[in-house]
Structure 1
Amino acid sequence: MNFSSNSFTIEQAKALDMIQYLSSLGFEPIKIRNNDYWYLSPLRVEKEASFKINRRLNRWYDHGIGKGGNLIDFGILYFDCTIAELLQNLNGNLSLQQPIIYAKNDSVIHEHKIKILKDTPLTSSSLLRYLEQRRVPVEIAQQFCRELSYSLNSNSYFGIGFKNDLDGFEIRNPYFKTCSSPKAITTFENGSDEVLVFEGFIDFLSFKAMTKNLPEKGQDFVILNSVSFFERARPFMENHQSIRLYLDRDETGKSYTSSALSLSTKYRDESSLYQNYKDLNDWFMNFGKLEKKHFEQKHI
């Protein structure tokens, strides 16, 4: 159920489950001990987890900066915004849910951290076949992605790894997607006054595939790796004269696009290109010859 900013009160926002909220922002706990969930701080860069949420109290505390509180307190710091702006940000992105209370005798430590075991060039036939099904050519995939072997909860997996600016990875395989810590945006800077913005790396790879036969423009790129990182990406984006948005066509993506357009005339919404599809890759996998011709004429 979605709530408009007019009906989303401060008390309702405070009642949102902090664990679920951080997960929606792309942050997962490093370990869980009783009711305490420990994270690498979303508010700063660190190597040892010192950000804690007590799920019984539904409160957080960052030992590195000596601050804590409820979801409102966290959101204001994380987005550097006012309460009204935070409530607008929450609008349509989360469901209202009371915090889950765990039994006091739950003393098991759960390690959720993904450990990268091997980082090699992308060669697995099953992973390359998955990308080819998404219409991403092998040579483009190999240019931007790695093949990762990793462990999670004592099990071993492998997947396509796309590195972010803090050396964490977005990870995909044909069956599921995950990420390794720390989670962050990915930027490619080529000295251009124009930047293209994508939610995920599959959309970015799709764009590179779509333009592989066109003249190289030397554009800059930012891949958010989670639309919730939009605010964090703004300093990089707004250092450019033109910001072209290729965000998803779902409610959240359209909401962020609309907000961006209200910030500055630098922002341009490019999602009309795939207006009848969920995202750029979905369109790319299904578009016809006339649409392709229109795209090439527009981007030459």
Structure 2
Amino acid sequence: MKKSEPNYRIDEILDLQNPNLKKYLQERGLSSKIYEYIKEVRFTIGEKKLYATGFENLSGGFELRNSFYKGSLLKKDISIINLNSNVQDILNIQDKNIKGVAVFEGFMYALSFIEMQKSFSGEILVMNSIALLNKSIEHLKNYSDINLFLDNDTAGMKCKSQIIKSFPEAKDHCGIYFNHKDLNEFLIHLTKNDDAIKSRKQSEKFPEADKLEEIKQESEIKNADGFKRKR
């Protein structure tokens, strides 16, 4: 029996450029700090030409996300990111032999961690699917310091239980975002609160901002003396 051809193809893999994708990431609480860990993937499914943020796995496949699409292309696999931080965390200062890893279910949660962290210098393991839990557990044997940032839902709890069963010393950090389903939801919450605080401070500092701008423009007109000023 002839094997059917896939109805998709990858057209281009680029550094992130598309403003719509940048806006999508911004809405997820992510800044340009994380751009180096993703790609812009342009692809075709059937007759439709699409583009999305792409996160590569160990087999060269991609997890894809944009504001209306969630999927993957090519072979499914786990992803590993090495964070070469110049600032060593406390654990690494205490013991140079400790090899730390932070574990996530999906890449948006891993990117959220990168966005938020300042001193973690180990590696990041992204499962990309709970179906790859056993492969993830096998890979975690390479680390002596395992940190879990899994989802606060049934699937996440099940994954956490299985990992801790294999590695009793693994540390569970989901309590940091216990009121939220996952780390990205928590980051979005923090970002919105931060924006609200900044907006309130700006309003308190410049209560008559519109009036000040009006005065500034009036002054510029008076100083123009009949000719246009260069801008």
- Specify if TM > 0.5: yes
CA deviations 1:192-218 (Å, max 9, x no partner) are 61110011111111001101xx23x32
- Residue 236 of structure 1 pairs with residue 134 of structure 2: no
Tell me the TM-score normalized by structure 1.
Answer: 0.56
Structure with bigger helix share is: 2
Q: What is aligned with 1:177?
A: 70
Could you say which residue in structure 2 is the equivalent of 1:198?
A: 104
Q: CA RMSD in A?
A: 2.1
- CA contact 1:114–1:181 (8 Å) conserved in 2: no
Name the residue aligned to 1:102: none
Decide which structure has the larger Cα Rg and report it: 2
Pick aligned residue for 2:47 from 146, 151, 154: 154
Structure 1 Cα separation of the partners of residues 63 and 98 of structure 2 = 25
Give the deviation of 1:270 after TM superposition: 1.1
Aligned residues: 179
Task: State which of 236, 251, 255 in structure 1 corresponds to 2:154.
Answer: 251
The question of whether the paired residues in 1 share the 8 Å contact of 2:8 and 2:44 is answered with yes
TM-score (structure 2 length as normaliser): 0.72
Relative to structure 1, the CA distance from residue 286 to residue 156 in structure 2 (aligned partners, 3 Å threshold; closer, same or farther) is: same
Distance 1:112 1:177 in 2: 18
Partner residue, 1:76 = none
Partner of 2:220: none
Q: Residue by residue, what CA displacement relative to the aligned partner does 1:178-231 show, whole Å, maximum 9, x if unpaired?
A: 1001110101246961110011111111001101xx23x321110111122111
* Structure 1 spans left out of the alignment, 5+ residues: 1-32, 39-48, 50-108, 290-300
Query: Sequence identity, in percent?
Result: 26
What is the CA-CA distance between 1:138 and the residue it aligns to? 1.8
Q: Which AA in structure 1 matches 2:100?
A: E
Q: Is residue 2:20 matched to residue 1:114?
A: no
User: Secondary structure of 1:238's partner?
Assistant: helix
Distance 1:113 1:245 in 2: 36
Structure 2, unmatched stretches of 5+, are 84-96, 195-231
2:17 pairs with 1:123: yes
Structure 1 segment 98-109 matched on structure 2, within 5 A? none
Cα displacement string for residues 144-172 of structure 1 (whole angstroms, at most 9, x for unaligned residues): 11111101122211111111111110011
Map of 1:282 onto structure 2: 185
Deviations 1:99-121 (A, max 9, x none): xxxxxxxxxx6x54431101111
Contact 1:113 1:152 in 2 (8 A): yes
